Amino acid sequence: MDGNITTERARPADIWNAGEEALPSLRAEQKAALWLSKGEVLVLVVLLSFGLWAALWGAVALVAAAR
């Protein structure tokens, strides 16, 4: 025993797929996964934040116009 317990633990995904080869469709999905850099994630979060604020202010404007 090497004393490093992290190498002996199985991840939940490994337990379900123990002894089974990944299906070709699953492998294709894994390869097609979109990985973004930290900068791209930051830009995406900022754009989504601006979109949320625009939607909120649009709703406030609609309520104000309806009065």
- The string of pLDDT tens digits covering residues 28-59 is 666 666 788 999 999 999 999 999 999 999 99
| pLDDT tens track for 12-32 | 565 565 555 656 666 666 666
Q: Output the furthest CA–CA distance in the chain (Å, rounded).
A: 74
User: Tokens at residue 58, please?
Assistant: 């649009």
Give the model's pLDDT for residue 35: 84
Looking at the structure of the chain, the number of domains it has is 1
- Rounded to 5°, the CA angle 53-39-50 comes to 5
Residue 7, pLDDT > 80, answer: no
**Cα radius of gyration (the chain):** 23
Query: Domain span at residue 52?
Result: 5-66
